[in-house]
Structure 1
Amino acid sequence: MVFPLRLRRRGEHKKEIIPVTGISDIEITIPPQFQCPISFDLMKDPVIVASGITYDRESIEKWIESGKKTCPVTNTVLETFDQIPNHAIRKMIQDWCVEMGSYNGIERIPTPRVPVTPHEVSEICGKLWAATRRGDHTKCGDLVGRIKNLGKESERNKKCLRENGVGFVLCVCFDAFAESENAFLLEEVLSVLTWMLPVGSEGQTKIASAASFRCMVGFLRSMDDSVRQNAAFLLKELLASDETHAFVLSEVDGVEEAFVKLIRDAVSVSSTKSSLTAIYHMISSKPMIVSKFLETGLVNLAVEMIVDAEKSVCEKALAVLDVICETREGGEEVSKNALVMPLLVKKMPKISELATMSSVSLMWKLCKRGNAATAVEEAVRLGAFQKLLVVLQVGCGEGTKEKVTELLKMMNTAMGKMEDDCVDSSMDFKYLKKPF
């Protein structure tokens, strides 16, 4: 049985372990030579630096990554940041853990894996590139699997893989096999690419090809939820990095239905956010595709999410409705939904600054359309005037402030024409029937 341990620091350089269970009154002091000179914790992966001092790898890496170039103990400048595993100390620590654990529940630290080096990564890239050019999907699968396993071992490995060209080669591999039937290989490459971003302009050129996009849209319809999430995430990241990708993606048959179905299926919060963000970028870059999204029922679906979704999803749903209203057709469709104006008033400014910005923009667009008088009157009756005043008091960006000011002027004029200008801002809208 392993018992929980409580750590208590005594003095400046000593730490003791005291069993919480009380089965033993013996206090175990970690030998100084087993403590990291930086954290004073028991070293799990002791390494020797250029000064000859041993540290725990995680601690000394954080020290170096913070910009320091000296040895923490000797204060001498480190000529190299190489770290050599101290196998002797590690073995002694493991033996000590076994000895102490026999009656105090201390677990033996596992033998750490040696981090991957830039040279090893370069070799893997070279082999993957060669296998891709040969069309050897079996060898490519083995190498991608090795990359995936290395990334799972530690964040340090992931960083080394990202910084040494793996992302670009994976993009080349994905594009090369995008129109093949090697679904497993493509799914593995896709899963690794989600933590390889950014892949650079050359990598994007490969992964954002028409063939690659068709493959990813196909994955959005997969039976495997994790594959669907990975595809949505990667598409979202590509669209956010370069608006021209939206023109290529929009040419893929069924991409609109695929994104909306992923949202409707509620696979996960992350996939919903990725899909909404991707849709936003697609419409922003190419407004003429709004009609295709309207055919999927996106407006009603977005409104439904604003009703009860979490903050981040609500933000993105509002942004999507706002960008849809940039077009005449989209504005007409949004204005048909009886829940839109009540929701805008109710949610503003409760969710976040970003959501308030989208809400104000959306309300402004609805109140300036053909049926502007009706929209303005509805907003007034729902208490929008008071809510907009709150937005000004709380503070907002210049663009939002201009829209709020214009809305207040329109509403002030409307209130003068209305017989009853005493509006209850807490008005409930549960009586409204959902159009979906």
Structure 2
Amino acid sequence: MDDVEIPEYFICPISLHIMKDPVTAVTGITYDRESIEQWLLKRHNATCPVSKQPLPRDSELTPNNTLCRLIRAWCTANSPPDMDQVPTPKPPMSKFHFANLIRGLWLPNSQLEALQKLEALARENESNRKQMVEAGVTKPVISFVVACHRKEVTTGLAEALSIFFLIRSSLNQTKLVLIGNDEIIDALTWVLVCDLDHLDHSLTIKTHAISALKMLVQKANSSTLGRLKPDFFNRIIRYIKESNSQQGINAALQVMLDSCPSGRNRIMMVEAGAVSELIELEFSSAEKKTTELIFGILYHLCSCADGRAQFLSHAAGVAIVTKRILKVSPAADRRAMLILSLISKFSGTVGVVQEMLRVGAVAKLCMVIQADCESHLKDKAREILRTHSNAWKDSPCIDVHTLTSDKISRLTL
């Protein structure tokens, strides 16, 4: 009966479909559970979609059992086309049930079964994931990954990392401190380079591992970051070279960027060949975020002499940074200009200055001055041009209109 009018209060205000599992928010508005949980998942401090009142992610969603029964009865009586989409909702899992499953993670004979059940429940909805975190699932799951590393076994690894990946948004809302055991970081980087070809979805497993590592490094204190080992960066760079997951590559780049404030870490990255690998990656990159991350890391690495030397030893280093200016994003422009500034100021030999001219860096700096961009970028371009104006102003490689005498006079003031 396509012409049957569906009662308005049966319709979820978000999905605009008949509600399968109606729940009422603290604002008094009823939504389909899946729709409102997804709404809250995407916003750390959300507002109620209907009332626009504050609706924190951890606010209680109360099952509207009366409305659920009315919807099912109406569907049975009217047989709408989507009747089969309104099943009887499952009762919410109790914390006691999750606690029992989590206890199984500590028992060798029941670990795999417990991991499989917890992963399936975590995939169902945000409510399950939140209850898992509150029941203490994080520690035994991470401990399991560490144990896999120690024993060099992979059974159950996919399920454990999948659970951690699924509950990561709920972890962000807790005060749980996951850092403190360097073995966790060692175990996750081991997964990145581990031979997992015998497992299904090996790429997904490594993507989950690098996502977990990204989260842990972001939560790490300076002491933990100061204890990172050369193998850490060797494995990250190897993963970047071998991965074909853009999400995973970006997560790995974020890990490197978050590790850059430590001078010791920058030295280890350079020694691991990070500069050359990042330049090569930029050649194949088509994503704005990837370029921004690469340039952010290169800026930090070019702050040390060995990093600049490695950057300049790559035939395309200056060229690729120059090419991206004014073509990607303001963030990429800022980082690219900082890289060129460091090269110009600390490594501006005759050969480097001529290289900047040859690959079009000088012309691009003049374009920045004339472009509609941030004033501090223009100031940085003027500073670089002023530093080497004597070497560039008479070059036949620069069009006569590119650097007029008026511009040169302003640059040298």
Same fold, judged at TM 0.5 (above): yes
Q: Aligned partner of 1:82: which letter?
A: T
1:221 corresponds to 2:221: no
Taking the TM superposition and a 5 Å limit, the aligned residue runs for 1:405-424 are 405-416=382-393, 418=395, 421-422=398-399
Which residue of 2 is the match for residue 150 of structure 1?
A: 121
Which residue of 1 is the match for residue 90 of structure 2?
A: 114
Report the Cα offset of residue 350 of structure 1: 0.4
Q: What CA deviation, in whole Å up to 9, does each residue of 1:241-291 have, x standing for no partner?
A: 32433333326xx33332222211233111111222222333x14333555
Which residue of 1 is the match for residue 155 of structure 2?
A: 184
Give the paired residue count: 376
Which residue of 1 is the match for residue 228 of structure 2?
A: 249
Alpha-carbon distance between aligned partners in 2 of 1:37 and 1:230, rounded to the nearest angstrom: 33
Shifted more, 213-222 versus 39-48: the winner is 39-48
Could you state the TM-score of these two structures normalised by the residue count of structure 2?
0.75
Change (3 A) 1:196 1:325: same
Alpha-carbon distance between aligned partners in 2 of 1:109 and 1:376, rounded to the nearest angstrom: 68
2:4 to 20, 25, 29: 29
Which residue of 1 is the match for residue 339 of structure 2?
A: 362
Which residue of 1 is the match for residue 296 of structure 2?
A: 319
Alpha-carbon distance between aligned partners in 2 of 1:304 and 1:186, rounded to the nearest angstrom: 32
Change (3 A) 1:202 1:420: closer
Alpha-carbon distance between aligned partners in 2 of 1:342 and 1:68, rounded to the nearest angstrom: 48
Change (3 A) 1:423 1:175: farther
DSSP-derived class of the 1:227 partner: helix
Alpha-carbon distance between aligned partners in 1 of 2:228 and 2:26, rounded to the nearest angstrom: 51
1:300 corresponds to 2:280: no
Report the Cα offset of residue 421 of structure 1: 4.0
Query: Which has the greater radius of gyration?
Result: 1
Aligned residues of 1:322 and 1:362 also touching (Cα < 8 A): yes
Report the Cα offset of residue 351 of structure 1: 0.9
Which residue of 2 is the match for residue 18 of structure 1?
A: none
2:246 to 269, 273, 278: 269
Shifted more, 215-224 versus 295-304: the winner is 295-304
1:196 corresponds to 2:172: no
Alpha-carbon distance between aligned partners in 1 of 2:338 and 2:240, rounded to the nearest angstrom: 24
DSSP-derived class of the 1:318 partner: helix
Q: Aligned partner of 1:153: which letter?
A: E
Aligned residues of 2:266 and 2:300 also touching (Cα < 8 A): no
Alpha-carbon distance between aligned partners in 2 of 1:385 and 1:164, rounded to the nearest angstrom: 60
1:237 corresponds to 2:248: no
Which residue of 1 is the match for residue 319 of structure 2?
A: 342
Shifted more, 307-316 versus 57-66: the winner is 57-66
Q: What CA deviation, in whole Å up to 9, does each residue of 1:138-161 have, x standing for no partner?
A: 434433333322221123433454
Aligned residues of 2:308 and 2:347 also touching (Cα < 8 A): no
Could you state the TM-score of these two structures normalised by the residue count of structure 1?
0.72
Unaligned stretches of 5+ in structure 2?
54-59, 197-201, 403-413
Change (3 A) 1:412 1:57: same
Q: What CA deviation, in whole Å up to 9, does each residue of 1:201-259 have, x standing for no partner?
A: 64323xx52222222121011322222111112112222232433333326xx333322
Aligned residues of 1:46 and 1:90 also touching (Cα < 8 A): no
Q: Aligned partner of 1:213: which letter?
A: I
DSSP-derived class of the 2:62 partner: coil
Report the Cα offset of residue 88 of structure 1: 2.8
Report the Cα offset of residue 352 of structure 1: 1.1
Aligned residues of 2:104 and 2:110 also touching (Cα < 8 A): yes
Alpha-carbon distance between aligned partners in 1 of 2:27 and 2:206, rounded to the nearest angstrom: 49
Aligned residues of 1:233 and 1:274 also touching (Cα < 8 A): yes
1:66 corresponds to 2:42: no
Q: What CA deviation, in whole Å up to 9, does each residue of 1:46-79 have, x standing for no partner?
A: 4578999976445777699635999x9xxxxxxx
1:83 to 31, 48, 63: 63
Report the Cα offset of residue 107 of structure 1: 5.6
Alpha-carbon distance between aligned partners in 2 of 1:95 and 1:123, rounded to the nearest angstrom: 33
Unaligned stretches of 5+ in structure 1?
1-25, 73-79, 426-436
Shifted more, 355-364 versus 195-204: the winner is 195-204
Q: What CA deviation, in whole Å up to 9, does each residue of 1:98-146 have, x standing for no partner?
A: x444xxxx561142543645xx236524762x455xx413434433333
Q: Aligned partner of 1:203: which letter?
A: V
Q: What CA deviation, in whole Å up to 9, does each residue of 1:168-205 have, x standing for no partner?
A: 55445545665345533344222221233346564323
